[in-house]
Structure 1
Amino acid sequence: MSASKGRKANPEGRMPLKEHLIEARNRIFKSALAMIPGIVIAWIIYGQLIGALTKPLGDIEKARGIVASLNFPGVTTSFDLKLQISLILGLVIASPVWIYQLWAFITPGLTKKERRYTLSYMFASVPLFLAGVWAGWIIWPNIVMAMTSFTPSGGSNIMDALDYLRFALQLMIFMGVAFLVPVVLFALNAIGLVRGTTYLKAWRFTILGVTIVSAMAAPGSDVMSMFFLGVPLLVLYFGAIGLCIINDKRRDRRTAKQARETDSTADLATPLHDLEEI
């Protein structure tokens, strides 16, 4: 059934649970197919990618005179690592597709006005997600430097290859998702569902939630990992709240102006010719 025909027959976008599950399965399948080109590309450029991700270790050895290298403890570790990196890079490259599929799964239940809002935010989500991944790539060397800065002279950092590279990729994906937070918050505010002050009142729970998520995303239990993961998300969250509050004030001024205009014309008599046309 086409989308236009379905909307005419079912303008509220309602469907049974079974059809929801089928729709979700189809969109997940399309997203998985879109990952295949990225997986192939990552498989081909795996050597260059590993070289770029491990470059901070060489810089540490030159700057501090300590041993900093990766350890591949198992027979299949190298293969597992290559497969994981290929999957994650495929997810990043396919982000325009799976973000669209997520939008298309949600929008049938929205009104026409809400769909128009979410469409514009969907177009903003793709570059923001990629910008977040790029930001994670940029700050990665600094994180490695900070996390290894406590190693004393003469010591060595022999790191597990899976932990090291998984942390790098988790950081980039986490940063990409973090950059989407302002879009989601502002979208809910723009359609009038949540006010900025409501977000602000929940700041304690937000900090707690970000701390928990950062602890889960970081491969180790060190404070520095949680710090570098949590702070960007908090900055983006409170930045989005500021934009929502500004938008609320603008909306409140517009509503007050309309109310004043309505009150000023409420006591005026209806012209005779308008009454005759009724």
Structure 2
Amino acid sequence: MVILAFYDPVLRFLRQPYANVCARRPDLVQDCDFSTLGPLEGFNTRLKISLYGGLILALPIVLWQIWRFIVPALHSKEKKYAIPFVLSSVILFVLGGFFAYYTLDKGLEWLISWSGSDVRQAFQISKYVSFVGLMVAAFGIGFEFPVLLVFLQLAGVVKPRQLVQGWRVAIVVIVVIAAVITPSGDPITLLLLSVPLVLFYFIAILIGHLATRNRKDDD
């Protein structure tokens, strides 16, 4: 309901990447207005934006509940990572969402260019909102990758040395996963998601190495 009260400014915010494409490439987009194909589409779009916004606002609570589910299987020294786990997960998800938002116009421009200059662009508002929501979710989930890697190292499932040795295979896997979770499928968005994930891979190895070494020193 909180997001629903701010529907108009939120919609303007979501529309901005498309507006950037309209301003930059008038040869591709002649009309920057959204369209609806039914009397219920506007109402459904409001509900959709409220749902996406509610999920984002509820993310800290969801992650905390996930951590509480995992905690019984952890040692007492590992339970101290609860707050860092939740905070880093929320921050990285939000960071991924903003990264998706501020690079979305590049992906949109590439996708629209495939329609041809003779095709009139008329985006349905509900489909556009769904597209933006999927992109934000894909990048947000993708940016959780280092948290998962650090957790696996702390749990002893993998060792930092193993991750270093398998970096070539990891890069291939990262690109494949990025291609799967990227809803647009365009190479620009794929590259924009893959590069941060590769950097996160090596950062997670460093954090995991330091954390496991400190734990050994404590023991």
| Normalised TM-score (structure 1) | 0.63
Going from structure 1 to structure 2, the CA distance change for 1:113 and 1:132 (only over 3 Å counts) comes to same
- Cross-structure match for 2:102: 138
- CA distance in 2 between counterparts of 1:130 and 1:138 reads 12
- CA distance in 2 between counterparts of 1:61 and 1:148 reads 11
Which structure 2 residue ranges, 5 or more long, are not aligned? Answer: none
* More deviation, 126-135/202-211: 202-211
* Identity score, percent: 24
- CA distance in 1 between counterparts of 2:37 and 2:196 reads 33
Going from structure 1 to structure 2, the CA distance change for 1:233 and 1:215 (only over 3 Å counts) comes to same
- Cross-structure match for 2:79: 115
Question: Cα offset for 1:227?
Answer: 3.7
- Cross-structure match for 1:57: 18
- CA distance in 1 between counterparts of 2:18 and 2:79 reads 47
Going from structure 1 to structure 2, the CA distance change for 1:163 and 1:235 (only over 3 Å counts) comes to farther
Answer 1 or 2: higher relative contact order, Cα 8 Å, separation at least 6.
Answer: 2
- CA distance in 1 between counterparts of 2:20 and 2:52 reads 25
Going from structure 1 to structure 2, the CA distance change for 1:196 and 1:181 (only over 3 Å counts) comes to same
Equivalent runs, 1:233-248 vs 2, <5 Å: 233-244=197-208, 246-247=209-210
- Cross-structure match for 1:214: 179
Amino acid at match of 1:204: V
Equivalent residue for 2:62, pick from 74, 98, 104: 98
Equivalent runs, 1:123-162 vs 2, <5 Å: 123-149=87-113, 155-162=119-126
* More deviation, 206-215/124-133: 206-215
- Cross-structure match for 2:169: 204
Residues 107 and 186 in structure 2, CA contact (< 8 A), matched pair in contact too: no
| Normalised TM-score (structure 2) | 0.77
- CA distance in 2 between counterparts of 1:144 and 1:94 reads 28
- Cross-structure match for 1:7: none
Equivalent runs, 1:76-95 vs 2, <5 Å: 76-95=40-59
Residues 207 and 234 in structure 1, CA contact (< 8 A), matched pair in contact too: no
Equivalent residue for 2:134, pick from 155, 166, 170: 170
Does 1:194 pair with 2:153? Answer: no
Residues 175 and 194 in structure 2, CA contact (< 8 A), matched pair in contact too: yes
Larger radius of gyration: 1
SS for the counterpart of 2:24 is helix
Question: Cα offset for 1:191?
Answer: 4.6
Question: Cα offset for 1:215?
Answer: 3.0
Going from structure 1 to structure 2, the CA distance change for 1:154 and 1:57 (only over 3 Å counts) comes to farther
Aligned residues: 213
Residues 21 and 109 in structure 2, CA contact (< 8 A), matched pair in contact too: yes
- Cross-structure match for 2:213: 251
Question: Cα offset for 1:205?
Answer: 6.0
Computed over aligned residues only, the root mean square deviation of the Cα atoms, in angstroms, reads 3.2
